[in-house]
Amino acid sequence: MSDFAYRSVDTLHVTLGDDGVLRVVLDRPKKRNALDDEMLYALIDAVDAAGRDESVRAILISGAGDHFCGGFDIVGRNAEPREARPRVGSIQRRLPAHAHRLIPLLATVQTPVVCAVQGWAAGIGLHLVLAADLAVVATDARLWEPFSDRGFTPDSGGTWMLPRRIGEVRAREMLLLGRVLDGTEAAEWGMVHCAVPGERVAEEAEELARRLASGPTVALGLTKWMLHQGSSRTLEEHLRDEAFAMELSSRSEDFREGIAAFTEKRPPEFRGR
């Protein structure tokens, strides 16, 4: 039973199942699930709370309808009457508490994150996928960095995450030339966990999320932390992080269960403690 009350809005639905999976559904299908401010802030709140909620053992993000997320709704923002638009510098002021808070949260929360991707994943929609731990994509999904085609620069960590995931040469092809990848290519490039036919995306992603939710939650969270920290650590610093993580994980109930299950030659039954 969770002590947290998760907030849904009209276009983003958040539910916590008895299996420990927090399911987040982007729900603006007529806009290809493009994020607006309300959706983005609700998503930040959900991920932030999940990282502190003992009941949440995995997060699954998906999109309603035919698409995952077409990016941020920049068209809707710029359609506002001129007198209603914010003053110059609003992007620079807003991003630290906006998209630039969401992506680090997804990357560092000590709860595994899975994305189920169909249709378009563009801009920040693609960056949600890159910040997740695992992504199941449809073979015919379309993954795209639209910025060069729109005349402005990438945001939400795209220029940091993409080269680390697929290498600098391929990242430049996507970021500078606007190369669109399908799901099969994304899997071949090592961008995502796997590509499957569209009708299997939801099932495969659910299976992955439930598998992670039934795993040793403390050890998985610390492993995710080390993977993220390792990108900016020396080997000596990283080995100290490993010793710290091993000390913590070896004190967990799940560690004792794992050892007992190995000794008794049976599958472990982890409780996430």
pLDDT tens for 246-266 read 999 999 999 999 999 999 999
Name the band, by pLDDT with cuts 50, 70 and 90, for residue 100.
confident
Q: Which of 26-30, 153-157, 230-234 has the highest mean pLDDT?
A: 26-30
3-state secondary structure 197-265: CHHHHHHHHHHHHHHHHCCCHHHHHHHHHHHHHHHHCCHHHHHHHHHHHHHHHCCCHHHHHHHHHHHCC
The pLDDT tens digits for 71-83 are 998 655 555 555 5
3-class secondary-structure state, position 267: coil
Superfamily for the 12-213 domain = 2-enoyl-CoA Hydratase; Chain A, domain 1 (3.90.226.10)
Mean of the per-residue pLDDT values for the chain? 92
The pLDDT tens digits for 162-191 are 999 999 999 999 999 999 999 999 999 999
Q: What whole-number distance in Å separates Cα of residue 241 and Cα of residue 262?
A: 26
Question: What is the predicted pLDDT for the residue at 263?
Answer: 96
Q: What are the structure tokens assigned to 64, written together?
A: 């309603």
Question: What is the predicted pLDDT for the residue at 91?
Answer: 58
Contacts of 34 (CB under 8 A, 6+ apart): 28, 69, 70, 71, 72, 73, 76, 125
Q: What whole-number distance in Å separates Cα of residue 263 and Cα of residue 270?
A: 15
Question: What is the predicted pLDDT for the residue at 80?
Answer: 54
The pLDDT tens digits for 15-58 are 999 999 999 999 999 999 999 999 999 999 999 999 999 999 99
Model-level pTM? 0.91
Question: What is the predicted pLDDT for the residue at 204?
Answer: 98
Q: What whole-number distance in Å separates Cα of residue 198 and Cα of residue 229?
A: 34
Name the band, by pLDDT with cuts 50, 70 and 90, for residue 89.
low
Q: Which contiguous run of DSSP H or E holds residue 115?
A: strand 113-117
Name the band, by pLDDT with cuts 50, 70 and 90, for residue 203.
very high
Q: What percent of the chain has pLDDT over 70?
A: 91
Question: What is the predicted pLDDT for the residue at 67?
Answer: 98
The pLDDT tens digits for 132-152 are 999 999 999 999 999 988 888
Question: What is the predicted pLDDT for the residue at 150?
Answer: 86
CB 135 within 8 A of CB 106: no
Question: Residue range 70-97: average pLDDT?
Answer: 62
Our CA dihedral for 66, 212, 139, 121, rounded to 10 degrees, sits at 50
CB 87 within 8 A of CB 110: no
* φ and ψ at residue 48, rounded to 5 degrees: -60, -45
So where are the chain's domains?
Answer: 12-213, 217-263
Q: What are the structure tokens assigned to 216, written together?
A: 């040793």
CB 60 within 8 A of CB 23: yes
Question: What is the predicted pLDDT for the residue at 59?
Answer: 98
Q: What are the structure tokens assigned to 53, written together?
A: 């909620």
- For residue 150, give Cα distances in angstroms to 41, 86, 153, 186, 204: 24, 20, 9, 22, 34
